[in-house]
Structure 1
């Protein structure tokens, strides 16, 4: 297998954890790894060299090079067999990493960077990339459960199919179980066709639950044949989607969600469920946009 994993590095503890994760992702994929640092200061017309009154080894550019070298060393320690390249790119981090995502199979970032504010649970770079990245974006939050499953939130929407595909592939690469979780309430479940045409709003007890079970089975159709070695657990829960996924993330090594789901509004690039996972999940979160995201 070949491909490219890109990781953003800014010297923060969060980004170094992302480097570790990205190196492991590149290793299991048989892909290359590119460590990227967005060098903002020249774009703001700040001199990048050393000060005339400071040491010759000083300066913003040298600092950026040291940050990248530290990240590369960290990646090599985590996955020595991976081909690693690096780049210091002038520009704002959101713009730089979005551009890098165009040629990548996966972009990995920390949940918060050097500019993170106290009390903010997830940084603007992570949220922006999840909404605008041209490939799946993996946001590294808390330390994952190493023996846990990959959990994918399934809502049956066409856009969510890409997230299901990604989750199956990740479970296969990691050699772990896949938990396909579909949560529903009477407020977000579409009504099944009535059994009695004379009473269009009447359905027998359990009809909604049966319909949601069918929705999950249809959403997974065909994937089990493509990934016969991936053990799959079907979970249909009568509860709020966000609450169910956050709870499932406690024992997961990865949570996978679509960027937008069944209740998404036109023009909204990131749905409430994916945003909730970025802010509150207890493991790394992969946000996968639907078909056409690379265009």
Structure 2
């Protein structure tokens, strides 16, 4: 079965970091890499010259992203897609056949901008595969050697997030810390939460032998608990929505806040039928 990782690139520092992360994922897991740049421009015939100029600029931006990926993956073929349209829907369309979609959290904006914050939220909500959102980092600095932190709350999305985190950890030989954050007013006794957490981890980690897993419950709201742990993490993994979200098409408030405020890259995982 063909495995593909798609990365959105707009020429911004965040876009370059996204390509670096995507290439690293392909280098470790042997998936194929597709670099995509989405552009838009005037549609009126009288503005055809402007449209052509914008398209040429978009093409050069795409080449820049592909060349960066090829330098990071010597000897490997890198697929490229130059799409015209709205970035969010175009990337979501590509996600249907992808193993992972990688985007930057901020971009250049304007006509050629691809990775605006609203785009990362859109793809995290609607993509058909896990979405990895990264921020700008010093290209000379390797990823943090920390662990993978995954937040769980008993929802189907958080179970999918845990499965993703365990698979990612096995691939990259990283430890996993599973955290269940709850309000102090929760009626569930602490020992029951700990037992539920241990049983959940045990039920999902059987196929990922060799991965070091720790787990714990904290009496804290999920957002501040996960933000604090993101400071020392290599990757933060969450479900696209938790038990408190009633609409499947709405990105959970915690996931959305983490996309823009976490100190490390964030993977948002959705549970699909």
TM-score by length of 1: 0.83
Question: Match of 1:25?
Answer: 25
CA positional deviation for 1:81: 4.4
Question: Match of 1:176?
Answer: 174
Higher fraction of helix: 2
Question: Match of 2:231?
Answer: 250
- Pair 1:261 & 2:242 matched: yes
Counterparts of 1:36-47 in structure 2 under 5 Å? 36-41=36-41, 47=47
Superimposed CA distance per residue, residues 217-249 of structure 1 (whole angstroms, 9 cap, x where no aligned partner): 122133322111110111221111111111111
- 1:46 & 1:173 partners in 2: Cα distance? 53
- Pair 1:239 & 2:220 matched: yes
Alpha-carbon contact 2:150-2:177 (below 8 Å) kept: yes
Match of 1:154 among 152, 155, 171: 152
Counterparts of 1:1-295 in structure 2 under 5 Å? 2-41=2-41, 47=47, 49=49, 59-115=53-109, 123-141=117-135, 143=137, 145-187=143-185, 189=186, 191-192=187-188, 208-267=189-248, 269-292=250-273
Backbone CA RMSD of aligned residues? 2.3
Alpha-carbon contact 1:145-1:283 (below 8 Å) kept: no
Structure ID, larger Rg: 1
CA 1:15–1:252: 2 relative to 1, 3 Å: same
Specify every segment of 5 or more residues in structure 1 that has no aligned partner in the other structure, as ranges: 52-57, 117-121, 193-207
Aligned residues: 265
- 2:171 & 2:37 partners in 1: Cα distance? 27
CA positional deviation for 1:265: 2.3
Alpha-carbon contact 1:151-1:179 (below 8 Å) kept: yes
CA 1:134–1:268: 2 relative to 1, 3 Å: closer
Alpha-carbon contact 1:142-1:283 (below 8 Å) kept: no
- 1:49 & 1:21 partners in 2: Cα distance? 36
CA 1:44–1:151: 2 relative to 1, 3 Å: farther
- 2:46 & 2:134 partners in 1: Cα distance? 31
Alpha-carbon contact 2:234-2:265 (below 8 Å) kept: yes
Runs of 4+ in 1 over 6 A off after TM superposition: none
Alpha-carbon contact 2:126-2:249 (below 8 Å) kept: no
SS at match of 1:226: coil
Alpha-carbon contact 1:49-1:61 (below 8 Å) kept: no
Alpha-carbon contact 2:42-2:50 (below 8 Å) kept: no
CA positional deviation for 1:96: 0.8
CA 1:216–1:46: 2 relative to 1, 3 Å: farther
- 2:240 & 2:174 partners in 1: Cα distance? 24
Superimposed CA distance per residue, residues 120-170 of structure 1 (whole angstroms, 9 cap, x where no aligned partner): xx6110000000111111100254852111110011112211111100011
- 2:28 & 2:57 partners in 1: Cα distance? 31
